[in-house]
Amino acid sequence: MKTTELHWEVYTWEDLPKDRLYTVLALRSEVFVVEQNCPYQDVDGKDLKALHLLGVQNGVLAAYARLFGPGDYFEQASIGRVVTSPTHRGLGQGKQLMKQAIASLEHRWGKTVIHISAQAYLEDFYQGFGFVRSGENYLEDDIPHLKMLRNPSPQS
| Dihedral Cα 48, 86, 101, 140, nearest 10 deg | 60
Within a domain: 32: yes
pLDDT of 2-59, one tens digit each? 557 899 999 999 999 999 999 999 999 999 989 998 888 889 999 999 999 999 999 9
Within a domain: 22: yes
- Amino acid identity at 154: P
- CA distances to 78, 88, 115, 116, 150 from 75, rounded to whole Å, are 9, 33, 8, 11, 13
Within a domain: 42: yes
Mean pLDDT in residue range 117-135: 95
What's 108's domain CATH number? 3.40.630.30
- CA distances to 93, 131, 135, 153 from 69, rounded to whole Å, are 24, 17, 22, 18
If we measure between CA atoms, which residue out of 66, 65, 58 comes closest to residue 96? 65
- pLDDT class of 155 with cuts at 50, 70, 90: low
Within a domain: 20: yes
Give the domain range for residue 68.
7-150
Within a domain: 1: no
List the beta bridge partners of residue 80: 66
Domain count, the chain: 1
Within a domain: 28: yes
Within a domain: 78: yes
113 close to 90: Cβ distance less than 8 angstroms: no
Helix (H) or strand (E) holding 108: helix 93-109
Within a domain: 122: yes
pTM (2 d.p.): 0.92
Q: Cα-flanking dihedrals φ and ψ of residue 146, to 5°?
A: -150, 150
Residue 1 has pLDDT above 50, yes or no: no
